[in-house]
Structure 1
Amino acid sequence: MAEKKKVRVEAKAPARKKNDDGTAAPQTWEATPEAKAQALKLRIIAGVLWVIAIGLEIFTIVWALAGDKEFDTGKLWIVIGLVVVIGILSITGSFLWKRSNRLDPASEKDGVRFFVQNQLGAIVAVVAFLPLLIFVLADGNLSGKQKGILGGIVAVVLAGALWAGVDTENPSVEKYTEDDNIITLLHNDPNAEVVWTKSGKVYHVCDKVPAVNQESTDGTIYNGTTAAAQEAGKSRLTKQWKSEARVCGFGEDDIARVDRGLAANPSTRIDEDELGELDDEAPAASVTTTPSPVTTTPSPATSTR
């Protein structure tokens, strides 16, 4: 395989806040202004798609299913088409919403907002399809065969919309803060960079690891700060970062520094002062003293003769 080209990606990270005495103030990870703007745009588009989907659901119920209305084969096919369109709108909106959450995630501290923001696609899927399914099954104007066909299609599309809407990764400010701290501690540098590929979902420790040197869509390895990786849609650091660190030439002492740092500061970003303190607190190498052998020289025998 030909050697991959390497491209550096710039991202302007938010400035770290300072206390009155000039020292770094404790803070969590924060999305860049560009990422926030992109996330807002995606959320607006997703919201518009969801509103149209729910509007079509209401139209379908009122026009075809509510009240005592004749339901023939032609109307059946129109309703099936509407259900498919509602599904496409719901699923597309969910994918855009998930993408926005990776650019600008919620904090786990606000449990309700965290749940709703991450699972809103699934909530919308239920709102868009469950009433429709209930009306189909309760409609007395549909024959048993029509109920079976239409109810089955609605149920399948609902399942697909739920699958698209549920977010199993649940990105959060706290998780992003931890990933950022791992890279900072590992490199002993708050401005350390990571690498990723266009087709990958996560970012990696360095360009020596096998994951970024496999064939990819554009044959390129990108590098930049964790903020740049997240702007590119890479939602987190690989879970194999420790094994990657060894491949990249980091020693066990470097990995131990990460563990100490995360234990000492589990919730806010590591700054330069804390890096220095962690180095000062590093356990000294133990020295094993081997006792010198004692050599006994026998004294000459004394004759009494």
Structure 2
Amino acid sequence: MAEKKKPATSRAKRGAEVAETKTTRGGTFQASPEAKSTALKLRIVAMVLWVIAIGVEIFTIVWALLPDKPVNTWLIIGLIVLIAVLTLSGSLLWKKANRYDPASEKDKVRFFVQNQLGVIMTILAFLPLIVLIFLDKNMDGKQKGILGAVAIAVALVVGVFSYDKDAPSVEQYSVEANVVKELTGKDEVYWTKNGTAFHVCAQVPDLSRSTDIQSGSVSQAHEAGIPRLTKKWVSEATRNCGYTTEDVDRVLGSVDDVSRTLDEGQAVEESGTLEVAPEVADEDPADTDDTVPSGVEEPAVATP
């Protein structure tokens, strides 16, 4: 039976301290004047589209539902679709604006409203219409069922696409920028057009298959629609990008949330405290392959 190694605690302690500090030691992200200007323009257009959508909703209610006359099913469906297009277009533009100029998580109410305003506007654009469809006295049960079902289905689709499940924040941008600058010495990351994360160097496996690798700052990556720094940055830094474990250790002492900078499964909770897993703390920087060379004894794995 292999002798258990005593868990190295330097990374774990640093990771725990970093997770508990809740401060960004490397600086707080601030959107550039250009980014703020772009975000403002996008938000203005989004608000205009939402106002028009609500105007179409009011028109539909006042002109097509409330008067004592037969209701044209296809006309109402067409107006519902128009409301959906206007509302969703506004929501997508608003979400894009938040990538340029994110809110802070410190103000939880503002953070929620700013990031989920598209959902709120979807409710305002559809809920009164849906209620009045079912209360309308000029329609029979079948017509109410058809129009009500269409309106609810369309509203749900718009609401799902308006919801921002990867809502950006000042804190996230700050952590990611500080990680990258501390590790590489500059605010530069790499991604592909349809990627789901950006990376600290261009030599990582996730980018090696692409012929269209883009680069820029952390904020530019978010502006391009890339939601986050890869969760594999720790292993990529040492395995693919030429950085050492000491380089990674230095980074873990400069960011405010270790769970945002480690791979899946590399952060563990011990007695209510978030720490770097012991096997990560013991990681040998020279071990860059998944297999152990022939003739070399495989080291014992530290027990968490």
**Shorter-normalised TM range:** 0.7 to 0.9
1:116 alignment partner in structure 2? 113
Q: 1:32 to 1:230 in 2, by over 3 A?
A: farther
Find the partner of 1:233 among 203, 225, 241: 225
TM-score using structure 1 length = 0.72
1:122 aligned partner, one-letter code: V
2:45 alignment partner in structure 1? 45
1:194 aligned partner, one-letter code: V
Contact 2:96 2:223 (C-alpha < 8 Å) held by counterparts = no
Aligned CA RMSD, in angstroms, stands at 2.1
For 1:164-243, what aligned pairs fall within 5 Å after superposition?
164-187=161-184, 189=185, 191-215=186-210, 219-243=211-235
2:247 alignment partner in structure 1? 254
Taking the aligned partners of 2:254 and 2:241, their CA distance within structure 1 comes to 20
Q: 1:89 to 1:241 in 2, by over 3 A?
A: same
Q: 1:178 to 1:26 in 2, by over 3 A?
A: closer
TM-score using structure 2 length = 0.72
1:198 aligned partner, one-letter code: K
- 1:148-194 CA-to-partner distances (Å, cap 9, x unmatched) read 1100100001101110221111210011100011112222x2x2421
What SS does the aligned partner of 2:253 have? helix
Taking the aligned partners of 2:197 and 2:213, their CA distance within structure 1 comes to 13
CA drift of 1:27 comes to 4.5
Pair 1:155-2:148 in alignment = no
Taking the aligned partners of 2:33 and 2:225, their CA distance within structure 1 comes to 15
Moved over 6 A (4+): none
Taking the aligned partners of 1:128 and 1:85, their CA distance within structure 2 comes to 11
1:298 alignment partner in structure 2? none
Taking the aligned partners of 2:202 and 2:130, their CA distance within structure 1 comes to 51
Q: Which sections of structure 1, spanning at least 5 residues, go unmatched?
A: 1-24, 267-305
Contact 1:49 1:90 (C-alpha < 8 Å) held by counterparts = yes
- 1:26-80 CA-to-partner distances (Å, cap 9, x unmatched) read 841011222112111111111111110000000101112125x2224xx211111
More displaced stretch, 78-87 vs 235-244: 235-244
Q: 1:253 to 1:27 in 2, by over 3 A?
A: closer
Contact 2:204 2:236 (C-alpha < 8 Å) held by counterparts = yes
Q: Which has the larger radius of gyration?
A: 1
Taking the aligned partners of 1:168 and 1:228, their CA distance within structure 2 comes to 20
Q: Which sections of structure 2, spanning at least 5 residues, go unmatched?
A: 1-24, 260-304
CA drift of 1:202 comes to 2.8
> Identity of paired residues, percent?
50
Q: 1:207 to 1:103 in 2, by over 3 A?
A: same
Taking the aligned partners of 2:257 and 2:156, their CA distance within structure 1 comes to 44
Taking the aligned partners of 1:174 and 1:93, their CA distance within structure 2 comes to 25
What SS does the aligned partner of 1:169 have? coil
1:105 alignment partner in structure 2? 102
For 1:26-37, what aligned pairs fall within 5 Å after superposition?
27-37=27-37
Q: 1:114 to 1:181 in 2, by over 3 A?
A: same
Task: Report the count of equivalent residues.
Answer: 234
Q: 1:263 to 1:231 in 2, by over 3 A?
A: closer
Taking the aligned partners of 1:192 and 1:94, their CA distance within structure 2 comes to 30
CA drift of 1:264 comes to 10
Contact 1:47 1:93 (C-alpha < 8 Å) held by counterparts = yes
What SS does the aligned partner of 1:262 have? coil
